[in-house]
Chain A
């Protein structure tokens, strides 16, 4: 066919968006019933290439609308507006165990969206597409300030929303992999919450002294937020994922210094030595290291290390002491932590103590451990260097891609509503109570 007459127009809006914004992809080709493949390519900061693709057929006027038309195959199927992002996976030939994480939030992720002729499944790089555009995905909205925090021995980054403030504040904690991971905090600041991403496993002070931080480290971080002129001191929450949940619950229940307005716990547990330090907590997990299972693909399953949930109150946070609303998010296929079982026990404890009205549990079938901001590609397993063992191993996180991606999208939306409800005053009349979610 004459190349000139096969002009395809590809349209993606917005071409520059935040990572949790949807986009619309339209393909216009003047031929109805035409088979084409819409493809996404992203080269991450580590230099690895990730791709996703869907198979479409143009309609009677020669158009494909990714938000309305079903993908008939590829890395995702069905009507999936954002499938080209959440189903991204390392290109064939990549090394195993990769996980996509943005470390530099000041520049966007660049994704190249292309259209290829026919229904293709491989060899995209060896062909010339019919059309392609570049889309930017940002973790930081314009005007958000990024402020490294090093006082009081902390290793942290504060993200402030644009505007005069004052803003509600949030302490943001990741899990056992350590490092200073900023992307969720910068995204929350883009939604109006002054957020402090805190490195508590590999901060400068630990790297230099070889000693883990004490619990005052977290209280110092809280104070930085509380005393900041642009943060509303009595409106500070805490969010933790995985090991971050352990810290969050400990602080929410026992800290005299932290007056948390609300807390969010993702994929974690309340099981820990109640009077323990950071070292004690990690040692406790390792006690049952022999309960580690290995899958057929040599992936490590660590969920049993904390099971069964103890009845001994010395080994789980006293949930009855909680005085602030708590949102617990769990994936029912979490292979890394026994998040579901812990959530059930937390609920029971709170019902007995009479404060269960504070608790909301979001439990997602077929979702795994790494419940990230929406459209982050799902990693069922990846290479993980545990701070406890210091070895790099293939950890099984769990989850089935489509269900996990849906969970991420839903959990994030509900998390934002929860934070807004609890960190800003005045519920709008007519807003349903979150405990019925």
Chain B
């Protein structure tokens, strides 16, 4: 019997952070032969997610995902990370799923496999030629995770390894509520003490006053931590978290963030959450537009006096991010602090601008706060490929903005 003719698949790194690039190479294939590269993930919610690309080996019998074109599958073209960002629930899955890692102390596991020929379905019923297992971590080794239940603030603090002291970040998600840790864990893996805050319990929307004092207290918990540099604490918000960030930056007399990042946010104070349905998907975007004309309903951004980065998607179906960013720029220029503002606006990109290589979902299930406890399908927007490009680019810009404003020893400058 002749030796095995199985191809050799190598993926590096086998254990990486979620924002690190993968190098996927297949060797010892017959030359010029069609193969499918497939990735499979079994989520914490027990759903299966997959992505795949159709390739043809070159005449050395090799496929290199970072150099060769995918001719079809869940992504096409030269896409070194397509096997991750183009993942979608396998056929037959429940609808409206969103992939989010809740336990950051363990990695996401991906099975990367090579199948013979150009396969588009029925992967589970076939045996691949070869496969490897890859770990993707939100937490670098040595990062400490600490539960915070202090002065009424509930959250999780992530501290980078090393003596410090480090710059700090208050990290806030949006109106879905709950305690989402993964972005903070990742930020700590990049050298920032980061507090993921649980501040919005969708059951309690009635008091739509997001208690101002709560955020100031949380900010101070970070600022006063022995491993944090007190005047290098910033704020990072997505969606409703952006609103909180702008509000605190503008109005607080106690707390002075060193810089702010607002992703997919609006500067309107919400009063109601009524929706306009489109194909049964709730679209919230258009209800905000009419508020643009009423200054009392907006954060007084003219009072912000630290560098602020706005990251938005042009196809955001949840908030009118584009219009808001324009309005914020107008207001800040008028107030004379426009030099502090930087903005990036990504075409065909939706609301959920997450850390890179996270799968994109144009809509997903959302517990609509205030509309009893009904779960609706909420439209976020964006087209998968441009949205994924945006996530990658935005993360790079966010990290460089943070590095520049929180790590650099020269006084912070506004423009990127």
Measured CB to CB, the residues of A under 8 A from B are: 3-7, 9-10, 13-18, 21, 30, 110, 112, 114, 128-136, 138, 141-143, 161-168, 190, 192, 232-235, 261, 420, 423-426, 428-430
Contact = CB atoms under 8 A, between A and B. Distances in A.
B155 to A, nearest CB: 24
Contact of B161 (A128, A132, A168): A132
Interface stretch (B9-17, B71-79, B278-286, B357-365): B9-17
Interface stretch (B135-143, B244-252, B293-301, B387-395): B135-143
Contacts, number: 137
Nearest to B229: A4
Nearest to B110: A142
Nearest to B31: A429
B243 to A, nearest CB: 30
Contacts of A114: 162
Given A143-B111, A425-B3, 18 more contacts: A7-B409, A10-B162, A14-B13, A14-B20, A16-B13, A134-B141, A138-B15, A163-B130, A163-B131, A163-B132, A164-B129, A232-B1, A235-B4, A423-B3, A425-B4, A425-B5, A426-B28, A428-B27
B61 A428 contact: yes
A424 B8 contact: yes
Contacts of A5: 409
Contact of A168 (B4, B134, B229, B408): B4
A164 B130 contact: yes
Contacts of A128: 163
B28 A428 contact: yes
B15 A30 contact: no
Contact of B141 (A110, A130, A142, A426): A110
Interface string B1-44: 11111101100111111001000000110000000000000000
Contacts of A190: 14
B373 interface: no
B140 A15 contact: yes
Interface string B129-160: 11111110100111000000000000000001
A232 B141 contact: no
B60 A430 contact: yes
B175 interface: no
A131 B163 contact: yes
Nearest to B191: A9
A356 B128 CA distance: 39
B109 interface: yes
27 contacts: A4-B232, A7-B409, A9-B403, A14-B16, A14-B20, A15-B189, A16-B15, A16-B137, A21-B13, A133-B140, A133-B161, A133-B162, A134-B141, A141-B133, A143-B133, A163-B131, A164-B128, A167-B4, A192-B8, A192-B130, A232-B3, A233-B1, A234-B2, A261-B3, A428-B60, A428-B61, A430-B60
Nearest to B16: A14
A303 B408 CA distance: 58
B132 A168 contact: no
Contacts of A14: 12-13, 15-16, 20
Contacts of B133: 141-143, 162
Nearest to B109: A142
B127 interface: yes
Minimum-distance CB pairs A-B, first 5: A143-B133, A134-B142, A16-B15, A132-B162, A425-B3
Nearest to B231: A4
Contacts of A9: 191, 403, 407
A171 B407 CA distance: 52
A3 B135 CA distance: 37
A6 B130 CA distance: 49
B16 A16 contact: yes
B111 to A, nearest CB: 8
A233 B1 CA distance: 8
Interface residues of B, number: 52
Interface string B347-363: 00000000000000000
Contacts of B135: 16, 142
Given A133-B140, A143-B133, A15 B162 contact: no
Contacts of B232: 4
Contacts of B113: 163
B3 A424 contact: yes
B8 to A, nearest CB: 6
A166 B4 contact: yes
A429 to B, nearest CB: 7
Contacts of B14: 18, 141-142, 190
Contacts of A232: 1, 3-4
B162 A129 contact: yes
Given A16-B135, A142-B133, A163-B128, A168 B162 contact: no
A425 B2 contact: yes
Interface in B158-177: 160-163, 165, 167
A135 B141 contact: yes
A30 B14 CA distance: 33
B316 to A, nearest CB: 33
A423 B6 CA distance: 11
A145 to B, nearest CB: 11
Nearest to A233: B1
Nearest to A17: B13
B141 A136 contact: yes
Contacts of B61: 426, 428
Contacts of B165: 3-4
Contacts of A17: 13, 15
Contacts of B163: 128-132
A161 B134 CA distance: 13
Contact of B3 (A3, A235, A429): A235
Contacts of A30: 408-410
B134, B162, B167: which has the most chain A beta carbons within 10 Å? B162
A141 to B, nearest CB: 5
Nearest to B143: A134
Contacts of B16: 14, 16
Contacts of A15: 17, 140-141, 189
A13 B1 contact: no
Nearest to B403: A9
Nearest to A16: B15
B138 to A, nearest CB: 12
Given A129-B163, A141-B14, A423-B3, A13 B8 contact: no
A163 B133 CA distance: 8
A424 B134 contact: no
Contacts of A423: 3
A190 B15 CA distance: 12
B36 to A, nearest CB: 15
A6, A30, A426: which has the most chain B beta carbons within 10 Å? A426
A400 B226 CA distance: 45
A167 B127 CA distance: 14
A119 B258 CA distance: 34
A424 B167 CA distance: 52
A356 B77 CA distance: 49
A15, A168, A424, A430: which has the most chain B beta carbons within 10 Å? A15
A424 B28 contact: yes
